[in-house]
Amino acid sequence: MKIKWMILAAILTVLTVLTGCEPLAVLDPKGPQAQTQADVILLSIGIMSFIVIAVFAILIFMLVKYRASKQPEDYKPPHIEGNVWVEAICVGIPVLIVAYLSFVSVESNYKVEATPEGYDEEPLVVYASSSDWKWHFSYPEENIETMNYLYVPTDRPLEFRLYSYGPISAFWVPQLGGQKYAMSDMVTTLHLAADVPGEYSGRNANFSGEGFAEQTFNVNAVSPDEFDEWVEEVQTTADPITEDKFEELLEPGHLGQQTFTGTHLEFMPAPEGEHGGHNHGGDSEESHDEHSDHSDEEHSDHSEQDHEH
């Protein structure tokens, strides 16, 4: 009896402590991509909890019902070859659970990788680049650049094009969606959207050096009208970004939030298109022409040799 009350007291204590905790950011979604991921997480937790509870319940039942103290001293267990139904259940149920979770995972991956549906406007394109240990956000359509903070409109798809000026980083806003890597030699695309106005925390989710823990940024989700007002204010009051200034910002260290007109994409483009892969800044047409000229020369030389023979 004493043990029973101790167990109940422990359970009540744990529940009381948990009620004072803030909800996990990933389970407090504010956009469709994050909502999809939260649903999958909760579904997985529910299925796994049911399995754990069922297994422990069966274990306790078997230990109590078939404990040795209930049998006579001369009891000998019968020889059993096996039971087809028990084996089918033990193998079949786990196979069905894994198959179902695999289907849900694949389906949800396609959803979160695609542009969010149900919005009338085209996605807002933002180039998000990382450096030690900062985040640079370029708005090519608005001709604005910010550092360590974002302004985004609600009820509009967001298309982040990620890359890095240093080691691999991971762009992550837990309440808006999952993380994706930003690398130095290519651009990766992350689709998000914010349905609820508010301020959300973002960070680098990949260890990239001693200062990565403070490589954070804020996301201010505002109404479309407030976003337009912010764009107009920045274009009126902010200083333009220059190549020298941007080179200074790329130096390792921590800096606060900054705002500029123009973007660094004008003088230091993202690694996409002809600037991507291992052909940074190369002119593919010139290379093709040179290759063609070289091939023509070789062909003419071979023709002359054949004619002489």
**pLDDT band for position 84 (cuts 50, 70, 90):** confident
Considering the four listed CATH numbers 3.40.50.300, 3.30.390.10, 2.60.40.420, 2.60.40.1840, the one that applies to the domain covering 124-272 is: 2.60.40.420
Which positions ≥6 away from 292 have C-beta within 8 Å? Answer: none
Which pLDDT score, from 0 to 100, does residue 282 have?
A: 41
Q: What percent of the chain has pLDDT over 70?
A: 83
Is the pTM of the predicted complex or chain greater than 0.85? no
Tokens of 2: 């004493």
Tell me what the mean pLDDT of segment 47-66 comes to. 92
What CATH class is the domain 24-113?
Answer: mainly alpha
Model pLDDT for residues 299-308, shown as the tens digit of each residue: 444 444 444 4
Q: Write out pLDDT tens, residues 127-179.
A: 999 999 999 999 999 999 999 999 999 999 999 999 999 999 999 999 999 99
Please give the full DSSP string across 48-109, using - where no structure is assigned. Answer: HHHHHHHHHHHHHHHHHHT-GGGS-TT--PPP----HHHHHHHHHHHHHHHHHHHHHHHHHH
Assess contact for 126 and 160: CB atoms under 8 A.
Answer: yes
Q: Where are the domains of the chain?
A: 24-113, 124-272
Could you report the per-residue pLDDT of 11-37, keeping only the tens digit for each? 777 666 555 555 688 899 999 999 999
Judged against a pLDDT cut of 60, whether residue 199 lies above it is answered with: yes
What's the pLDDT score for residue 19? 54
What whole-number percentage of the chain has pLDDT above 90?
A: 67
**145 burial level (CB within 10 Å; 0-12, 13-18, 19+):** buried
- Average pLDDT over all residues of the chain: 86
The pair of structure tokens assigned to 95 is 């196979």
